[in-house]
Each structure stands twice: as structure tokens, then as C-alpha cells.
Structure 1
Amino acid sequence: MANGKEHITIDPDQPVIYFGRFAFSTGKGTYINRIFRVHFRNIPFSLVPFHLAAGNNVGLLVIVTLNTEQVPLLVTTVNTCGCYAAVIPTVSLPPGAYPKNWDKKQQSIYGEVLPGSLPAYTVDDALLVTVRPEVHRVMDVRVVKRSMLSDKKYKPADMMPLQSLKTLPLASGMTTSLYYDTWPLRGHVKGSIKLWESLLLSLVSLDFYVGMDKEYGDTVVSGNPFYTSLLPWNRHASDMNNFAGFLRFWGWRL
């Protein structure tokens, strides 16, 4: 608390990965999403290079989709504003589940080039996600042996359940949520307003708070669709909180 007002910041010296597990179903079966969420202190304001998404308390989601045999089928990465969503299949995904004309070599996500496919991986492997400094965008995803991660350049992070983001400790001994819980900011991350995005993209998206980071999980609970398309008529069809609908919107036929 500062001057009687709540102020949330991210401590980069104490990294935490927040995790969750959710099931979803399609006409072809039932699947499990393992969700991993991290937050960063900020994307700094910069004109050269221009940081469109400059702001505080920004975050990133990595979602691994498994079948009922616990085999990874998809890896989805997205910033917690709903921006830069990328779905990467593993070779275990059935051929009929790909979007039409899918390039298995690579995909371009607003300037970042990511794999078009990942090899199969097991408990002996790890998913290595590389994030671009300052802007915190995913710049590479690959499967590596776990032994590789013992290198000193990797710092272990604490693991905490996603729900703990709603009970962050305050110096007073009380707790608070990372998310606003009242209109008009309900379901958005506190302190994460993006000035440039509000100025430049609010008209095309019909959302003044476009670019703000969001709660991920259930639109009914958060009151805030986790949309992944700027076009307002796609707001609900592209809502990643409805993961089956999100995949269908982007052409996946899981």
C-alpha cells in the first residue's frame, strides 16, 4: 500500500510460475490443458524501437494441451493481453486436426518466427520457451532434455496455483487480487493499462482497455473475454477462455 492506495508490482528477483489444469471437450474427445502463467515488471516505454505494448505487470501464458493418454498435442503461447497467440502442434497431433495448408516448418507471429511443429516429448524432456528481452514476446519454443536445464544460467522459479493470484499478500497482513473486481476494469490485471494501445487500437477494437492484461480461466467468472482477435465481431468466437471455440476459430480441428 502506498499513501493508502494499493500498488502491485512484480519482483523479477523472485520468479514465480503460476499453474493450473483445466479440461475441455470437442466433438472428437476430451482434452486437458496444463496452464503456466508468468508476469514481468513492465515493458518499458520506448519510441525507438517503438514499444506499442508498453505498460506494467505484463504477463505470458504457456498452455500445453494433452489427450487422455497424457500425450502433448499442442503448445499455445499468448501474452496475457490476448496478443500474439501462437498454436504449435507436436508430431503427436492427428493429421486431420491441423488447419488447412498448415506449414509444419515455421509460422510468423507479428515479426517473430516460431516453429510450425514440435517433436514428441516425454517426462524426460522439457519445453524451453525463450522470451525476447524488454517486450516479453515469445521468440522460440523447443523441446530439450531436462538435463540441459541444470546450467547455471537458468534460475529456478517457485510454482504456485493460479488461484493464488487472487490472494496476494499485503504488508498489512491482508490479501488482494491481481485482478480488478469491479466494472469497468473487472477481470483486468491491476496497473496494466497500455497507453499506446488504448490511443491507437481502441477504435478498431471498440475496447478502450485493449492491450490490458487479463485473468484467464472463465469469462462468466471474470466478466472479461480473453479475446485473441482485435476485430470486435470476433470477440467471443476468439475467446481463449472457451478453448475449444478458440481452436475452432483459428482453424484447428481437434
Structure 2
Amino acid sequence: MRLSLKLILLWSGLLVGCASGLPQHPRADSLRAYVAQTDSWHFSRQAPVFVVEEPGRSHNRIGTVAARISDGAEEVYVDSEQPTLYARQTSFRTARGSYTNLTYRVHFEKVPATHLGWGRNVGLLVIVTLNESGQPVLFTTLHTCGCSLAFTPTSYLDEAAFPPGWERGRRKVHGESLPGYLDYGEGSPTHSRLHLLLQKDTHRVMDLWLADGRNPADYQRVPTPVKPLKVLEGLGLPDGASTSFYETEGGRRDYVKDSRKPWERLFMSWWAFDWRVGEDKKLGRDQEDGILFYTSLKPWARQPSDLRNFPVFLKYWGWNL
């Protein structure tokens, strides 16, 4: 009986980590906003503002990926005492035009064991897709395991590019209520920044909105340096050597080191047909770089939902950019 009760309580905790109602914003002065430093090269102009709950707990803070020697062995970890936003630029073409993707990646110490996504060195991706005029047309958010994918189009996106029947009001996405559309109105896309409210513990996106990125309400403002995404593959060690954030050989090649997900393996791997389901991984620049980065749990949709091939990925999810 005691064991059964413990299992029920554990499972309840996991479910709480995966579902919630309408987003409720805590008091602004209890939140921390990570704002890209304006002198951090051109990526800062479109960088999202990440707003986190309960920043007093280290695992809720955006950190810097680092490496050290611990008990004689190499260890990669996320240093929550200083934040870093990792970014890169890629381009793609479709029959309708040319686009630029600005990909932003942040990492956290862990997701606690009371949630389904329990694991270390977890991360979040935000992809800002720009049209030929440099205007943001689509925001894509997901975790660095490929899960919790969400799309948020903007008023700069052509009507013909929307999936059929797309709802522009609030939409239920993986248990969260997210906007189906963001309107820039008369605002400048340079000053109006995407803001994301991240849920405590799980780091899931609870809400998105546009606001002036130069003055983020009454949040605890944290200027955050922007570094090239490539630096994650050359982390400095105390002895002057370097190592990668990702495994470089073996069965876990291109997965984030120490990113195993025990609960997701236990409850999901058998029906998702993936022993490493939920584990965080490298996002390659294209299909020749890195591991398959699928965003659909359907085994037959692994290739068409691969984030590395962005035009095909968009088509799979119904977008016609």
C-alpha cells in the first residue's frame, strides 16, 4: 500500500508538470528578465526577452554552459550564477521567398525529479524567422529535446502562409494557453521584442507577448551576453584543453552530456520507439550536421519533422512560407 501510494503521488507530480490552465503572470518585481546586451553583435536586435519565475531557485535561472574536472573526470554543467544566450544565423529558401532564421538557445541546471522532464543540462530554443525585409514573421519555440513545440505567427506573415483554419486567439498548446498571433501594429520590430514567460521548474513557455525590449516593465533586469552557438562545442577546461557540450562518439553522439531523462524513458520510450526520448541534443545547421532533431513523436514522422531541414519541417506542420 505504501509503495502504491508513493507511485500515485509521483505520477500526480509528473502530471502537474505537464499541464496547467490559463497563464497567470506573477508580480513583475518577483520575476527576472534576461535581456540581450545591446553591444553583443547583431543578434541582440531580435533576441527574445526571457522572463523566469522564482529566480531565487538556481535551476530556474538561465545559466552559462561550462566544463570542469570533478574527481578526476571531465564534467559539463550549467553555471546558474551567470547567464549566456547562444545564437546563430541560418538562411533558407522556399517557392515563396528567402528567409533568415535567428536561433537562440538557453540552458538551465536541471528539471527537478518531481516533473516528467527530470534531467540535467536542459535547454530551450527560440527561432525567429525573418522575411526578406528583416521583419519577424514566425516564432518557433521548443525544448532542446525537440518537445513542447509551438508556433506563433506575426502580423508580418502573409495570409497564404498560415495553416488552414489557424486560430488567432488563445490556443491550448501542450497544456499551456498561448497566443495564436502577435500583432506588431505600428510598433517597430526593432524595439518591440518577443517576451516569453517561462514556468518555474519545467521551463515551459507559459505565455508570449510583444513589448519594448529596452524597458522590460518592473522585472529584475539581467543584461545577458550573446555568444555564438558554436562555442558549445569548445568549452574550456582548467588545464587549457577544451571539450564539447555534446557527446562526440558512441551511441549518444550529439546528445548533451549528462542529459538522461529517467521518467521520460520509463513512461514514453516504449511507445515512442526511442530509448533516448526526451534527451537534449545538438541542433545541426542542416541534415549533414548533427543528429536527427525530430519534433513529432510519431515514428513515421521523424524525417519530415526534422528541425534541421526547416522548409520541410514547416511543410510538415502545415506552414506555407
2:167 aligned with 1:110? no
Aligned counterpart in structure 2 of residue 192 of structure 1, from 259, 280, 285: 259
Alignment-mate amino acid for residue 198 of structure 1 = R
| Partner in structure 1 of residue 304 of structure 2 | 237
2:279 aligned with 1:215? no
CA shift for structure 1 position 147: 3.4
Q: Secondary structure at the match of 1:165?
A: helix
CA shift for structure 1 position 82: 0.2
CA shift for structure 1 position 151: 4.3
CA shift for structure 1 position 219: 3.6
2:98 aligned with 1:26? no
Deviations 1:194-251 (A, max 9, x none): 00111111122211111000111234221x1111111111111101111111111111
Alignment-mate amino acid for residue 108 of structure 1 = K
2:248 aligned with 1:181? yes
| Partner in structure 1 of residue 224 of structure 2 | 157
Rounded Cα–Cα distance in structure 2 between residues aligned with 1:95 and 1:39: 34
Alignment-mate amino acid for residue 191 of structure 1 = D
Q: Secondary structure at the match of 1:244?
A: helix
Rounded Cα–Cα distance in structure 2 between residues aligned with 1:123 and 1:107: 26
Rounded Cα–Cα distance in structure 2 between residues aligned with 1:41 and 1:159: 19
TM-score by length of 2: 0.75
2:75 aligned with 1:7? yes
2:215 aligned with 1:148? yes
| Partner in structure 1 of residue 206 of structure 2 | 139
8 A Cα contact 1:237 1:246, kept in partner: yes
| Partner in structure 2 of residue 246 of structure 1 | 313
| Partner in structure 2 of residue 80 of structure 1 | 144
Any residues of structure 2 matched to 1:64-79 within 5 Å, and which? 64-79=128-143
Q: Secondary structure at the match of 1:129?
A: strand
2:190 aligned with 1:123? yes
- Does 85-94 or 122-131 show the bigger shift? 122-131
Alignment-mate amino acid for residue 202 of structure 1 = S
Which structure has the larger Rg over C-alpha atoms?
2
Alignment-mate amino acid for residue 71 of structure 2 = N
Rounded Cα–Cα distance in structure 2 between residues aligned with 1:150 and 1:133: 19
Q: Secondary structure at the match of 1:7?
A: strand
Rounded Cα–Cα distance in structure 1 between residues aligned with 2:240 and 2:200: 34
Q: Secondary structure at the match of 2:70?
A: coil
| Partner in structure 2 of residue 57 of structure 1 | 121
Rounded Cα–Cα distance in structure 1 between residues aligned with 2:128 and 2:302: 23
Alignment-mate amino acid for residue 238 of structure 2 = A
Alignment-mate amino acid for residue 159 of structure 1 = V
CA shift for structure 1 position 154: 2.0
8 A Cα contact 1:127 1:144, kept in partner: yes
Rounded Cα–Cα distance in structure 2 between residues aligned with 1:248 and 1:204: 25
Q: 1:152 to 1:78 in 2, by over 3 A?
A: closer
Rounded Cα–Cα distance in structure 1 between residues aligned with 2:253 and 2:289: 10
| Partner in structure 2 of residue 169 of structure 1 | 236
Rounded Cα–Cα distance in structure 2 between residues aligned with 1:61 and 1:173: 30
Q: 1:102 to 1:164 in 2, by over 3 A?
A: same
2:265 aligned with 1:201? no
State the identity as a percent: 41
Q: Secondary structure at the match of 1:148?
A: coil
8 A Cα contact 1:204 1:230, kept in partner: no
Cα RMSD, aligned residues only:
1.2
Alignment-mate amino acid for residue 52 of structure 1 = L
Deviations 1:76-130 (A, max 9, x none): 1000000011110001110111011100012222111111001125112221111
Rounded Cα–Cα distance in structure 1 between residues aligned with 2:170 and 2:129: 19
TM-score by length of 1: 0.95
CA shift for structure 1 position 6: 1.5
Deviations 1:130-173 (A, max 9, x none): 11010010111111012322745121111100000111111221
Rounded Cα–Cα distance in structure 2 between residues aligned with 1:219 and 1:16: 26
